[in-house]
């Protein structure tokens, strides 16, 4: 079976891997000049936080998302499973109670336990929630690892290649173009996300830290070499690639309130992209002739792509 996957974001690469591992002959094409150049996946935080996401997401996200952690651990050794720490300033402690009511699989932690988990936060927060089983990864390293594994499996990966109009030369096409597929999927909308990458050696964190705030909740995800991803805004907009001054100020203020060392950090990158989302904010797989559309990953690209990629492969092999 010869399958063409269009799009080398997290949807396309996970689907290609599931298909290649089952023995299909797979090619991946992407219009970007190189991996990540035009992919929303490149901007992601990389939190694998199924139980935290329960706060605002459908229960399906936790049900399908928790399995993603093992999927990533098997395929990307850089996946870190050290939990998620959720904190709030003393004046916002009500936000923690609200978050706790809507989520599951956490322990309440006090100031000493917070200091044990994250010594650099000692004395800064009195109460928090610790989601022991959650994980995080660096999306750029994870996608690079998936691409390398695909090449090892004999998959052809080509960049700078626009999707062709016809599909007569392949048995099936898996369309993973993200928000660019909106023309074929009219109910797809964009939810803009802005993020920044900073570098500092003045603080180290072991795990993702979420700061709850009534207006501007944010998270900080540690990466290698003193890098931290700070994100992310959620704006109903399809305006890709522009970070507003307001968002930059709010994200930086939030990070500074987690630890003043972020005030001295070097800004490495500001980034923005558009999360592809369907009206129910859940991903979907839609078949149209020989094309399978895999889209709508919304804010759960790394969390839900493995489960849906498996469903894509099932659909290809069982039809
Ligand atoms: C700031 C931010 C933070 C986020 N944080 C998280 C997080 O912590 N955890 C999480 O799970 N998710 C997170 N997400 C969500 C996640 O990034 C998205 O759900 C995911 O990236 C969508 O992946 P995709 O593969 O569908 O689309 P994309 O990553 O956009 O990939 C689509 C690919 O298709 C290619 N393409 C488009 N049109 C064509 C064409 N005509 N021909 C050839 N190629 C084409 C593009 O070049 C692109 O590479 C975040 C998103 C943002 C913006």
pLDDT band with cut points at 50, 70 and 90 for residue 318: confident
Ligand 1 center–CA 181 separation, angstroms: 11
Residue 167 reports pLDDT greater than 80: no
41 lines ligand 1 (CB under 6 A): yes
40 lines ligand 1 (CB under 6 A): yes
Q: What are the tokens at 19? A: 């298909």
Is the CB of residue 167 less than 8 Å from the CB of residue 274?
no
Write b or e for each residue in 90-123: b if 16 or more Cβ atoms lie within 10 A of its Cβ, otherwise e.
Answer: eeebebbeebeeebeebeebeeeebbebbeebee
* pLDDT-above-70 percentage for the chain: 100
Average confidence score pLDDT of the chain: 96
Q: How far apart are CA 18 and CA 308, in angstroms?
A: 10
Q: Which of 39, 51, 195, 283 has most ligand 1 atoms within 8 Å of its beta carbon, as the pocket-test mutant?
A: 39
299 lines ligand 1 (CB under 6 A): yes
33 lines ligand 1 (CB under 6 A): no
Task: Report helix, strand or coil for 5.
Answer: strand
236 lines ligand 1 (CB under 6 A): no
Model confidence pLDDT, tens digit, residues 57-75: 999 999 999 999 999 999 9
Is the CB of residue 276 less than 8 Å from the CB of residue 183?
no
Ligand 1 center–CA 176 separation, angstroms: 9
């Amino acid at each position: 079976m010869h399958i063409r996957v269009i799009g080398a974001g997290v949807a396309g690469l996970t689907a290609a891997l599931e298909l290649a591992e089952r023995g299909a002959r797979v090619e991946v094409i992407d219009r970007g000049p190189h991996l990540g150049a035009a992919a929303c996946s490149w901007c992601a935080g990389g939190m694998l936080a199924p139980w935290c996401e329960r706060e605002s997401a459908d229960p399906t996200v936790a049900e399908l998302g928790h399995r993603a952690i093992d999927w990533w651990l098997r395929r990307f050794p850089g996946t870190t499973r050290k939990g998620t720490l959720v904190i709030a300033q003393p004046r916002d402690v009500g936000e923690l109670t609200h978050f706790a009511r809507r989520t599951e699989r956490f322990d309440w932690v006090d100031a000493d336990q917070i200091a044990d988990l994250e010594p650099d936060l000692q004395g800064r927060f009195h109460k928090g929630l610790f989601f022991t089983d959650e994980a995080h990864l660096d999306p750029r390293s994870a996608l690079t690892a998936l691409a390398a594994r695909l090449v090892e499996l004999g998959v052809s990966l080509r960049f700078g290649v626009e999707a062709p109009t016809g599909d007569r030369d392949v048995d099936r096409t898996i369309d993973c173009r993200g928000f660019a597929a909106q023309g074929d999927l009219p109910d797809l909308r964009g939810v803009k996300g802005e993020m920044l990458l900073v570098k500092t050696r003045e603080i180290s964190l072991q795990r993702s830290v979420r700061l709850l705030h009534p207006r501007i909740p944010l998270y900080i995800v540690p990466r290698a070499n003193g890098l931290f991803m700070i994100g992310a805004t959620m704006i109903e907009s399809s305006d890709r690639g522009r970070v507003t001054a307001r968002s930059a100020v709010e994200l930086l203020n939030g990070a500074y309130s987690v630890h003043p060392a972020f005030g001295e950090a070097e800004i490495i990158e500001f980034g923005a992209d558009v999360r592809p989302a369907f009206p129910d904010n859940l991903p979907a797989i839609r078949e149209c002739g020989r094309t399978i559309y895999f889209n709508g990953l919304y804010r759960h690209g790394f969390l839900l792509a493995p489960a849906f990629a498996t469903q894509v492969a099932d659909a290809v092999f069982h039809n």
